Each structure stands twice: as C-alpha cells, then as structure tokens.
Amino acid sequence: MTTNGPVDRLLATARGAPVDEPFRVTGVMMQYYYVCKRELWFESRNLEIDRENATVVRGTRVDETAYEDKRESLRLGMISLDLLDDGRVVEVKPSSALTEPAEMQLSYYLWYLDRVADVHREGVLAHPRERRRESVELTEERVKKVESSIRAIHDLVHRPSPPPAERKPFCDSCAYHDFCWC
C-alpha cells in the first residue's frame, strides 16, 4: 500500500490495513516528544532502564486512584486511555509541571479517537492534588500540532543516532542520565 507520509502510515497501521512499514505512536511517545527528544529516541530503541523513578520525580506518572470510581480504561490499537462516566477522555497527572507534554498526550488521544474510530470527544486534564482541571478540545490548531508532531516523531525515531543531550531540570532523575552526562 502506498501512503502519503507518516500520518497516513500511522492511520493505515491503526486501521489494520497492509502497510509496508507499520508506524505506531503511543500516547507516551507523544508525551516524551515534548519532554525530551533524546529520551524518546532511546525509548524507541527499547532502552528501558528505570522508568518508574523518572516518572515519579517528574510528576508525570498517572495517579491510579484518582477518579477511579468515575473512569474506565479503554484500549484502542496503539493507545490506552481513560474515559470519565460523562464520556470525556481524562488524563490524570499528579502535577501541573510539564503541561505541554500532558496536553499533547491528551490531544493525541482525542485525535486518534476522531480519526481512527470516528468518535468525537472532549478531554480533561486533571491534577487532583492541586484540585485543578482543564478542558482540552480537539481544535483545528491542535489537529495541526498533533499531525506535525507525528511527522516529527517519525523523523526522530528513524534517525541513526539520538539528538544531542540538552540539560533539563529533571536530567538527574532520568533513566538515561548516564548515557547523557557520564
């Protein structure tokens, strides 16, 4: 099957169409693209070391107990997400640090549902510890940003070597710290 670039290839892969080179982007990959591109490249090579430590320190680990009586998990192809009982997609983060990565992860879920399953939903980004919630809608602007991010992720994970290390506040707690700074 001939496709027109990474977005079409991802959609064909998601729909189970025959694709020469299947291409998958998970919600976590979208998040990492906005956290650290070098980390995403390592992760794409399955260089998994101590993810637990990094996610806890950064405050990006999903709080398993928040809204547990009001949400149900859904797996659809390459994404796993949580739905509230009012139908909105919820992404729970313990902290509002790293807002853009969380917003893009949620926007990707909304885009994927819309494009792959023809299901149109709104999202809510929840920070229960801070008693904060923010609505996320799949605007045209967000669609463009999600699709340009998919193309950029495709280019990044197909590079033969990772992008150079750039110091970030959470590098000391990163699973790949020793690959960057030792």
CA 84 → CA 26, 64, 123, distances in Å? 20, 14, 9
Cβ 174 to ligand SF4, closest distance in Å?
A: 3
Which residue ranges make up the site for ligand SF4 (CB under 6 A)?
36, 38-39, 165-166, 168, 171, 174, 176-177, 180
- C-beta closer to ligand SF4: residue 39 or 82: 39
Cross-strand partners of 84: 71
Residue 142 to residue 110: CA distance in whole angstroms:
10
DSSP 154: H
Cβ 57 to ligand SF4, closest distance in Å?
A: 11
- C-beta closer to ligand SF4: residue 49 or 76: 49
CB atoms closer than 10 angstroms to residue 116: 17
Cβ 163 to ligand SF4, closest distance in Å?
A: 9
- C-beta closer to ligand SF4: residue 121 or 177: 177
Residue 22 to residue 172: CA distance in whole angstroms:
34
